[in-house]
A and B are shown apart, each in its own frame.
Chain A
Amino acid sequence: MLLSFRTIMRLLTHNMLTSHVKGVTNGYPLKLQAENIKVMSVDFNPEFVARMIPKLEWQALIQAAESIGHLGDLPRELMPEYESNEEFLKMAHHVLMEVEVIEGNLECPETGRKFPIKNGIPNMLLNEDEV
């Protein structure tokens, strides 16, 4: 079967996901384990990146990028006036939007429960006994 199409999960999406397995008090961030990653080119929009950064949990992004070997030179801490630092915004754009996870797992930090990423789609559905 020729798979000419592929969905992807960006690290931007990973930054927004939390485990809600019953009893879990801290299901964020999920540990990212990627089996299949692609790096693709996405149009850089500095205003968009600058507006997204305050919505992110920066440390979760750093951890996720590092765990899949794509941190590069992205600073571990946000510096003042990052919004006008184009070099920084480009690096952030790359990590947020261009590193794409196709297959892998998201592991609940508290229970170790693995939520699969299949064909770029994270499956966060809980089983009946986990709700």
Chain B
Amino acid sequence: MTMSETFPTPDLSHLTAEDYDHVYEPAEDTFLLMDALEKDADLLRSIAPSICLEVGCGSGAVITFLGSILGSQPHYLCTDLNPRAAECAARTGKQNNISVHPVLTDLVSALLPRLQNKVDVMIFNPPYVVTPTDEVGSHGIEASWAGGVKGREVMDRFFPLVPKLLSDHGVFYLVTIEQNDPEEIGCRMREFGFTMDKVMSRKAGPEKLAILRFSSCKRTM
């Protein structure tokens, strides 16, 4: 039986209370996502990624953590709508000796078509909270949680982009809560040619969180 490797949580001491007025402070969902990536460390390394992308990077904790698993070889790109988040993500990378390259753009808009089928590891911790539709679409901190109807409005815009972005052997990690209806997400992604695995789940207060992993049906895991 092999011991699973553990990786240290990124040092976030450079981020201040003032930063967290504008940028999502890592919470249970963030840490569950990191735990899932850690659990998948062998799988991630076996992909030998060239390009890693986190959509909606917030503080940069997750892309930086991915960097601690995969090392300095891959090119780490991340996107956000919030200029403050992009700046924090770069600082978080720097604080932890990972070169993180943020781009301010809506989802991945500016990175397509160039990233077509080139992303080897993709991560999205979307705004998944069920809110009124009119709360969706800000560029400030609300953008980090406001998910609209069923908490799905933002992630639903992203799903059709997954087959455009992922490489043949690429994997995509998504954070969801029960209200987002993960089974239905699985069906939708199957139509795009992806199988779904539930890597990890956890109850955090009232939220039943699940980390879903998608990979091409053609790929044998």
Q: Could you tell me the distance between the alpha carbons of A42 and B109 in the complex, rounded to whole angstroms?
A: 28
Query: What B residues does A28 contact at CB under 8 A?
Result: 114
Query: What A residues does B106 contact at CB under 8 A?
Result: 125-126
CB distance from B51 to the nearest CB of A (A): 7
Interface SS majority for chain A: loop
Say whether A43 contacts B91, CB under 8 Å: no
- Specify which of A48, A57, A123 is in contact with B73 (CB 8 Å cutoff): A48
Query: What B residues does A120 contact at CB under 8 A?
Result: 90
Shortest Cβ distance from B93 into A: residue: A7
Write the A101-131 contact mask toward B (1 if CB under 8 angstroms, else 0): 0000000000000000001111111100000
Write the B124-154 contact mask toward A (1 if CB under 8 angstroms, else 0): 0000000000000001000000000000000
- Specify which of A5, A17, A121 is in contact with B102 (CB 8 Å cutoff): A121
Q: Could you tell me the distance between the alpha carbons of A7 and B103 in the complex, rounded to whole angstroms?
A: 11
Q: Would you call A13 an interface residue if the criterion is a C-beta within 8 Å of the partner chain's C-beta atoms?
A: yes
Shortest Cβ distance from B86 into A: residue: A121
Interface residues contributed by chain A, number (CB under 8 Å): 29
Q: Could you tell me the distance between the alpha carbons of A42 and B83 in the complex, rounded to whole angstroms?
A: 26
CB distance from A96 to the nearest CB of B (A): 9
Shortest Cβ distance from B106 into A: residue: A125
- Specify which of B86, B94, B111, B114 is in contact with A5 (CB 8 Å cutoff): B94
Shortest Cβ distance from A55 into B: residue: B118
Q: Could you tell me the distance between the alpha carbons of A18 and B101 in the complex, rounded to whole angstroms?
A: 16
A interface vs B, CB < 8 Å? Answer: 5, 7, 9-10, 12-13, 15-20, 28, 42-43, 45, 48, 51-52, 55, 57, 119-126
